[in-house]
Amino acid sequence: MKTRIISAIVMILVFVPLLIIGELPFALFMAILSLLGLYELIHVREKKKSFPLFVKVIAYILVACFAMYNFDSIEFQTAFDYRVMALILFLFLSPMVFINDYDKYDLNDALFLIGAILFLGLSFNLIMITRNFDIYYLIYLLLITTITDTFALITGSLIGKHKLCPKISPKKTIEGLLGGVLMGTFVATAFYFTVINPRVSLVFLIFITAFLCLIGQLGDLVFSFIKRYYDVKDFSNIIPGHGGILDRFDSLIFVTFAFIVFKGIL
């Protein structure tokens, strides 16, 4: 517990100043997190099969580029550049021919890396752009994930009896989920209505916030499923007592993606 508390304090001391500063320092931080996230996914995958070194190097370069794309933009980009996708497909599908060895590199490996790069690069890029657009929006999303996770744990520990997804996350309970969503919705809604936009429909805001709280828990379960599949407890031990980057950002990644759907009407 002591290690977990110390790690949490260090994370706050690092993250909060960069969040406040924003711009290039925060963008570089997001790029570093995307690289660490990719390292964690590759690391758990390589428990079953290793990737060629040069393919991993290309993957790290591309995920950092994705995360840093338009790092000073305040607009949520909706256009998709097919040239980028074509380049990625070429870079990861072509090595299958040159390596010419199913045991060293195959289609499943290529698709895994393509998916990991797009998912993590776009995730941390979107978090960065959300900060650029308005720091309070990102704080709102952080409140959703932090409060929901915290009170899901507390409620589940105190009164949790009915398992939510025992094969994926044995400790999660339905009572914990409900407690987390209720508190997450209350705190995040109060913040949004007080600080961001007091003119928004309160009923609509409560509905959207509750939905985002549920999405955050879904994200947590999705990443737990990945860990179960590869038979690991945490993605890494980069953060002592907390696990890896993806163990801490799993909910925020999903909530940020879901939030962009409602951004124009909130």
> What DSSP line would sit under 80-129, residue for residue?
--HHHHHHHHHHHHTHHHHH--TTT--HHHHHHHHHHHHHHHHHHHHHHH
The structure's pTM equals 0.90
Phi and psi of 163, rounded to 5°?
-65, 140
Q: What is the pLDDT of residue 126?
A: 93
Q: What is the pLDDT of residue 30?
A: 94
The type of residue at 16 is V
Tens of pLDDT, residue by residue, the chain (266 residues): 677 778 778 888 888 999 999 889 999 999 999 999 999 999 999 988 889 999 999 999 999 998 998 888 877 765 567 888 888 899 999 999 988 888 889 999 999 999 999 999 999 999 999 999 999 999 999 999 999 999 998 998 888 788 888 888 888 899 999 999 999 999 999 999 999 999 999 999 999 999 999 999 999 999 999 998 888 888 888 887 778 899 889 999 999 999 988 876 77
Phi and psi of 170, rounded to 5°?
-60, -25
Q: What is the pLDDT of residue 103?
A: 84
SS (H, E, C) 26-68: HHHHHHHHHHHHHHHHHHHHCCCCCCCHHHHHHHHHHHHHHHH
- Specify the residue for token string 């074509």: 86
Single out the residue of 50, 57, 67, 44 nearest to residue 91, CA to CA: 57
Beta-bridge partners for 243 = 239
Distance, in Å, from the CA atom of 112 to the CA atom of 135, rounded to the nearest integer, reads: 33
Distance, in Å, from the CA atom of 217 to the CA atom of 143, rounded to the nearest integer, reads: 13
Q: What is the DSSP letter of 192?
A: I
Residues 6 or more apart whose Cβ sits within 8 Å of residue 128: 26, 27, 30, 67, 71
Q: What is the pLDDT of residue 80?
A: 64
Q: What is the pLDDT of residue 42?
A: 94
Q: What is the pLDDT of residue 79?
A: 58
Q: Are 143 and 191 in contact (CB under 8 A)?
A: yes
